[in-house]
Structure 1
Amino acid sequence: MIEKQRTSVVIIGAGPSGSVAAAILKQHDVDCIVLERSTFPRFSIGESLLPACMESLKKAKLFDAVNKAGYQFKNGAAFRRNGKYTHFDFTQKYTEGEGTTFQVQRGPFDKLLADEAQKQGVEIRYQHTVTAVDVNLEKPILSVIDEQQQPYQIEADFILDASGYGRVLPRLLDLESPSGLPPRKAMFTHVTDNITENLATELNYDRNKITIYVHPKHADVWYWLIPFSNGRCSVGVVATPEFFDSYPQDEITALKQLTQEEPHLGQLFRDADFCHASGTIGGYSANVKHLAANNYAMLGNAGEFLDPVFSSGVTIAMKSAELATDVLVRQLKGEAVDWQQDYAKPLMVGVNTFRAYVEGWYDGRFQNVVFFENANPDIKKKISSILAGYAWDTNNPYVASPQKRLSTLAEICSIK
């Protein structure tokens, strides 16, 4: 006889969206169980946070622990293309809110959030894997295998899928949908960078910012450089899958070659030690047929993931946790809610804002804006707000009408 358990909310996944959602629900005395198939710490990309994440962490009462953890300080984003340099200072932005954040190795960062949620009273079950879900009942039932490979079931009032790239509910409920973005692949590693203060000064390198490089010969190929506080950094290259076919199959060898193709990055890495594991991820852009129903909702990457270029993934994940728990608490109190109007539609405001600028990056419009030499300070503050993660502030005209405003601005910036 398979044991059947009962709770109010089951959260699938203990990553940032799962921890934030669980912590917020705990503040409202909602019983929830977090099911995580892995053990923590575990590797993940998405290492450069945005200031808007800090607002979500405050709401979940997780900010103080993150602020004290000694992560690499971040106050903006720098961009380099064919010798041109520009940067955005996130403290100089249009929208109110935190203007600084951190760059983090996700293994210890995700574990910190989960540990802090547990300290608040959240129950997290590691190495528990969801194998099936029945949402056609008034109260959905999840089939689970625990760390001893023993099956059991949980009945819940509601399910929040915070499984990230695992995309548990989209897979089990056949909710997968094409993203609409062309397929791309990321190749990445961590390096011991050995960037001295003298070298950083010589090359005008600011460790307090993420740096995005555009490949000298391929405008749709870009690199990320994310420094950490321990002398390491994350470096990755994003391109179409076919782009990598002409490079060595060994990822470290390929990454060494690619970093040398960008002159500034090559100089910056002249003493770097590529001594850490590498990885690739492809086909990461994803969508779903719908984000929520009356007894389940997808958070963050479990619902939709765009592209890593503006580090929006963790921000969308945390914002979705905020929005979903707000609606869920109301529903559990007996209020009538509309998950499409109250959750999906507000969440997509920010997702579609990021989407507009991701598309603009690859088709060149947003690159024209970023590298424009005579930027209007007021407009730059509005763009800085979006890059800082405040993509839900519809008082910002570049959020309210992202495609139209970006196209107009790009046209102005392209005039010689």
Structure 2
Amino acid sequence: MPSVIVIGGGPAGSSVAGLLALQGIDVVLLEREKFPRYHIGESLITGCMGVLDELGVRERVEELRFIRKYGGSLVWGKDGRWNFKFTEGKPEHPHAYNVRRADFDALLLARARELGARVYEEATVKEPLIDDGRVTGVRYALRGGPDQELHADLVLDASGQGRALGRHLTGIDWHEDLRNVAVWAYYQNGASLTGDETGNIFIEHVPGGWFWYIPLSDGTHSVGFVTPVAEAKAASIELPALFETKIAESTHVKKLLAEGFRVSGFRSARDWSYVCDRFTGPGWMLVGDAAGFVDPLFSTGVTLAMMAASAAAKAVPEILKNPDLEAAISERYEESYREFLSNIISFVRFFYDAGLDRAAYEEYAQALVDPKKLFFPRKDFVTLISGLNSLRPIFDLPVPAPTPV
């Protein structure tokens, strides 16, 4: 019987499985699909860089020749076009990457295997196994095979928005004001940003929504449009037609794509901003998108998932060594996780008011993460949208002392 079951082989699942295996813990990872597989979420932020180092894969990521991303460029608010650099927040994190998720995720899953996790692909988790209120394992099936039971001391759900475990154990709170829909495609021969903006994600606000424009290492650009679901319905046209209409209404994305041509079909996703009612319980823990997902405006998804994985990989060994501390350690994990999610959600909601100036956005970020104003608002703004915190680690998990007998 393994000590830990991890559900899901994306960045959260592969990271936590690899980091636990690195500590000598017996881990089984169950992944529904066969890698490599396509996934959106291509623009990373610098909060994930420390986790790549923990996993020992920074050099391998470099070898994949992903585009280095040194910051972001925006057309938003009263200031028109502006940009930021990650070094304005945490100088030790100068860049992140724009990645092909199929390649990036496959690298992380391979690393989990290499570190000792037993990885089963095409393994669909059906339901948790529960004994006297405690999750003790899962029922799953390999493709084409019969249902099987697998037991463990702890089960971690890192299955993303499918919430393979969480949907049986906890409710979900949708952020009604962030019910958006995204439609995207890939373009060749689009113009790239230059100079200090080279590699940046480009975000342009347009009436009714906003565009992302992400350079990828093969010369293509990922281009997506995000709009409220209500706006999309009111438009009374199909999403691809809405996308093309909004391209024509844009100022900068239209120019960047003047010589570009679409080289893929359109994809779409909707209603993705949410948080679960609980992140932990007896025998189980949620990690990454399985716990919650914030609107994609600041590209926090992958990074926050990997940082949560790193935190879980610190908490789980202590729970295994000191079962009596499980509730206290799990509570601190959830508390820390919710605090950062709450800050990002609050900031995204504020930022969606595109009628403000840059100083207002920076001051609001400071109010969230640095209320004593120990740093400049600009630093707090960049630090927050880098997936970090100016004052302390987001996942600060001191281990409670055992209760004296």
**For this structure pair, what is the TM-score category when the shorter chain's length is used for normalisation?**
0.7 to 0.9
1:16 paired to 2:11: yes
Partner of 2:344: 354
- State the distance in 2 between where 1:83 and 1:267 align: 20
1:61 corresponds to which of 48, 52, 56: 56
1:208 paired to 2:208: no
Partner of 1:3: none
1:316 paired to 2:313: no
- State the distance in 2 between where 1:366 and 1:48 align: 25
Paired AA for residue 343 in structure 2: T
Paired AA for residue 78 in structure 1: S
1:160 paired to 2:156: yes
**Matches for 1:300-379 after TM superposition, within 5 Å:** 300-334=288-322, 336-337=325-326, 338-364=328-354, 368-369=358-359, 378-379=376-377
- State the distance in 2 between where 1:227 and 1:244 align: 26
1:119 paired to 2:114: yes
- State the distance in 2 between where 1:147 and 1:7 align: 21
Q: Is the 8 A contact 1:78 1:85 kept in 2?
A: yes
- State the distance in 1 between where 2:12 and 2:66 align: 19
Cα gap change, 1:180 to 1:341, in 2 (>3 Å): farther
1:47 corresponds to which of 42, 45, 49: 42
2:379 corresponds to which of 378, 381, 397: 381
- State the distance in 2 between where 1:167 and 1:365 align: 36
- The more displaced of 23-32 and 241-250 is 241-250
Q: Following TM superposition, by how much is the alpha carbon of 1:286 offset from its aligned partner in structure 2, in angstroms? A: 1.6
- The more displaced of 324-333 and 172-181 is 172-181
- State the distance in 2 between where 1:134 and 1:366 align: 50
Paired AA for residue 222 in structure 2: S
Cα gap change, 1:43 to 1:117, in 2 (>3 Å): same
Partner of 2:396: none
- State the distance in 1 between where 2:196 and 2:87 align: 19
TM-score scaled by structure 1? 0.84
Paired AA for residue 303 in structure 1: A
Q: Following TM superposition, by how much is the alpha carbon of 1:386 offset from its aligned partner in structure 2, in angstroms? A: 1.2
- State the distance in 2 between where 1:205 and 1:232 align: 20
Q: Following TM superposition, by how much is the alpha carbon of 1:367 offset from its aligned partner in structure 2, in angstroms? A: 5.7
- State the distance in 2 between where 1:76 and 1:334 align: 42
Paired AA for residue 275 in structure 1: V
**Matches for 1:19-38 after TM superposition, within 5 Å:** 19-38=14-33
- State the distance in 1 between where 2:355 and 2:150 align: 49
Provide the identity percentage. Answer: 25
Q: Following TM superposition, by how much is the alpha carbon of 1:145 offset from its aligned partner in structure 2, in angstroms? A: 1.1
Please give the root-mean-square deviation of Cα atoms over the aligned residues, in Å. Answer: 2.6
- State the distance in 1 between where 2:199 and 2:70 align: 6
Paired AA for residue 156 in structure 2: L
Q: Is the 8 A contact 1:99 1:388 kept in 2?
A: no
- State the distance in 2 between where 1:147 and 1:371 align: 49
Cα gap change, 1:367 to 1:114, in 2 (>3 Å): farther
Q: Following TM superposition, by how much is the alpha carbon of 1:363 offset from its aligned partner in structure 2, in angstroms? A: 3.4
1:292 paired to 2:276: no
Q: Is the 8 A contact 1:36 1:128 kept in 2?
A: yes
Partner of 2:369: none
- State the distance in 1 between where 2:183 and 2:338 align: 28
Q: Following TM superposition, by how much is the alpha carbon of 1:139 offset from its aligned partner in structure 2, in angstroms? A: 5.8
Q: Is the 8 A contact 1:52 1:97 kept in 2?
A: no
Q: Is the 8 A contact 1:8 1:30 kept in 2?
A: yes
Question: Once the two structures are superposed, what CA deviation does each residue of 1:328-363 show, in whole Å capped at 9, x if it has no partner?
Answer: 110111252414432111122321221121111123
Partner of 2:403: none
Partner of 1:410: none
- State the distance in 2 between where 1:170 and 1:249 align: 35
Structure 1: runs of 5+ lacking an equivalent: 1-5, 397-416
Question: Once the two structures are superposed, what CA deviation does each residue of 1:36-87 show, in whole Å capped at 9, x if it has no partner?
Answer: 1111122211111001101111122232221221001100011114882110
Secondary structure in 2 matching 1:270: coil
Cα gap change, 1:34 to 1:395, in 2 (>3 Å): closer
**Matches for 1:230-245 after TM superposition, within 5 Å:** 230-245=218-233
Secondary structure in 1 matching 2:143: coil
Cα gap change, 1:208 to 1:310, in 2 (>3 Å): same
Q: Is the 8 A contact 2:186 2:264 kept in 1?
A: yes
1:134 corresponds to which of 102, 108, 129: 129
- State the distance in 2 between where 1:97 and 1:250 align: 45
Structure 2: runs of 5+ lacking an equivalent: 367-374, 394-405
Secondary structure in 1 matching 2:292: coil
TM-score scaled by structure 2? 0.86
Q: Is the 8 A contact 2:205 2:211 kept in 1?
A: yes
- The more displaced of 67-76 and 56-65 is 56-65
Partner of 1:188: 184
Q: Following TM superposition, by how much is the alpha carbon of 1:35 offset from its aligned partner in structure 2, in angstroms? A: 0.5
